[in-house]
Structure 1
Amino acid sequence: MKNIILITFVALLTTSCATTYLIHQYKDPETGFFESNKLFIIGLEGDFKLREQFEKSLVHAFEEENVRAVKSIDFFEDSFTKEKKTIEELNEIEKTLLNAEFDAILLTKVTGTEKRYYTASMLHQFMTSNQTFEDYYYGNQYEYLREKGKKEDYTVYTVETSLYCICPEKERQLLWRGEIEVTDTDNTKKNIHNFIKTLFKSLRNNDLILIH
């Protein structure tokens, strides 16, 4: 029975590697509930196809929640992210957004990539009280297998998202910023879906944009 419980727990822990987590967040203490009338979505990503897929998925997710959102790819020319902008140029861009009735900007970028290694034997080692040599060796023999090319590592992306208000009375105010860890599943669509799920949960918990 003990072995069944242990195997089940290990399986659950292994599955959890394919999830996303909110690791840090900040909310402006003076901001209560904030509801955007028109949200501008920016994905700071050099890969145009990936940026397009990300922005399209995020806009679609917001629209399903009855939030009006627009992709930066649709609003600006391709040069928007390819050319460095001065402060003066960014001020003009903000005025353009205000004139187009946007009141908030959601900006997302990948800030880090990390390779991690999942060691199932660590769990086995600490959960077994009367551990025999056979138990310990069986749980740690993956070390030999790893040398033969058995893949046990996975990639984690740290994704930072910032929500800015560009309302006339609160220009450029940072309302919320969060860092979300996204585990790579080798499926870009699924990675984006997992990110959006965690992002939306965080926005709801902070009374931002989305209705509970």
Structure 2
Amino acid sequence: MKNLLLLIFAITMLISCSSSKMVQQYKNPETVSFEANKVLVIGITPDEDVREIFEKRVVKSLEKQNVRAVKSIDFFESSFTNNKQSLEQLNNIENQLLDAGFDAILFAKVIGKEDKVSIIQSYNNLGREFHTFEDYYFSNQHLYLNEQKQSYTVYNTETSLYCICPGKERELLWRGEIEVVDADNVNRNINKYLNILFKGLKDNQLLVSAL
């Protein structure tokens, strides 16, 4: 039984270390719930192709939740992202958004990237009894040879939901940090991100319904 518990613990640790997840999140304590009439989705990345794919997928997912959403790449001129904006220009943009019926902005960006290595099948040793030094060393010597290792990349993302309702002055409603384990496929990575994002929004009664 002891060996079985160690085995289950080790497997759980390996899975948790290599899976996408919500790392931390913050919700404005004054906001109980929030439903937007129209959301602007902004992906912050210098890669315009990735931004186009990302915003399109997020908008499509929001529309499936009966939330009106628009890609920023369709709403703004290219000069908005290619040039720095002054506070006065941002205030003018906010007025444009209000006039266009928007009352929320969803920002998403990659804030970091980490290359990690996990030792595959190392949990096998936890479930075994080694009666001698030779047994233990022989079963683990592959670690010296860098065998049975798996490398993977983790992207650290930050997503922020702002209200641009009149009188709110771009108030932050929610922010979440999501780790996405790279699957070497943009669409698959976005799917992982969206699953975690929508769970976080539903749990906090923001934008999308929990039903």
> Structure 1 length normalisation: TM-score?
0.87
SS of 1:141's equivalent in the other structure is: helix
Change (3 A) 1:130 1:11: closer
Residue 45 of structure 2 is matched in structure 1 by 45
Render the CA deviation track for 1:53-110: whole Å, top value 9, x for unaligned. Answer: 0000100111111111000001011221111111111111111100000000000010
Matched residue, 2:117: 117
In structure 2, how many angstroms separate the alpha carbons of the residues matched to 1:140 and 1:208?
51
Corresponding residue for 1:176?
174
In the TM superposition, residue 15 of structure 1 has moved relative to its aligned partner by 5.5
Larger deviation: 8-17 or 156-165? 8-17
Within 2, Cα distance between the matches of 1:140 and 1:2? 25
Once the two structures are superposed, residues 1-23 of structure 1 have per-residue CA deviations (whole angstroms, 9 ceiling, x without a partner) of 99999888877765555531111
Using the size of structure 2 for normalisation, the TM-score is: 0.87
Q: Are positions 1:76 and 2:76 aligned together?
A: yes
Partner of 2:160: 162
* Structure 2 letter corresponding to 1:155: T
* C-alpha distance in 1 between matches for 2:141 and 2:193: 33
1:144 aligns to what SS in structure 2?
A: coil
Amino acid at match of 2:105: I
CA distance in structure 1 between the aligned counterparts of 2:167 and 2:86, rounded to whole angstroms: 23
Partner of 1:200: 198
User: How big is each residue's C-alpha offset from its partner over 1:129-161, in whole Å with a ceiling of 9 and x where there is no partner?
Assistant: 622443553244043144xxx762111000000
Q: Is the 8 A contact 2:161 2:173 kept in 1?
A: yes
Determine which structure has the larger helix proportion and give its number: 1
Q: Size of the alignment, in residue pairs?
A: 208
SS at match of 1:186: coil
Identity of aligned residues (%): 47
Q: 1:1-212 counterparts in 2 under 5 A?
A: 19-120=19-120, 123-125=123-125, 127-128=126-127, 130-132=129-131, 133-146=134-147, 152-212=150-210
**What SS is found at the alignment partner of 2:111?**
strand
State the one-letter code of the partner of 1:144: L
Taking a change above 3 Å as real, the CA distance of residues 101 and 153 of structure 1, as seen in their structure-2 partners, is: same
Does the residue aligned with 2:145 lie in a helix, a strand or coil? helix
Answer yes or no: is the 8 Å Cα contact 2:4–2:127 preserved in 1. no
* Consecutive unaligned residues in structure 1, runs of 5 or more: none
Secondary structure of 1:25's aligned partner: strand
Q: Could you tell me which runs of 5 or more consecutive residues in structure 2 were left unpaired when the two chains were aligned.
A: none
Distance 2:182 2:200 in 1: 20
Please give the root-mean-square deviation of Cα atoms over the aligned residues, in Å.
2.6
Letter of the 1:89 counterpart: Q
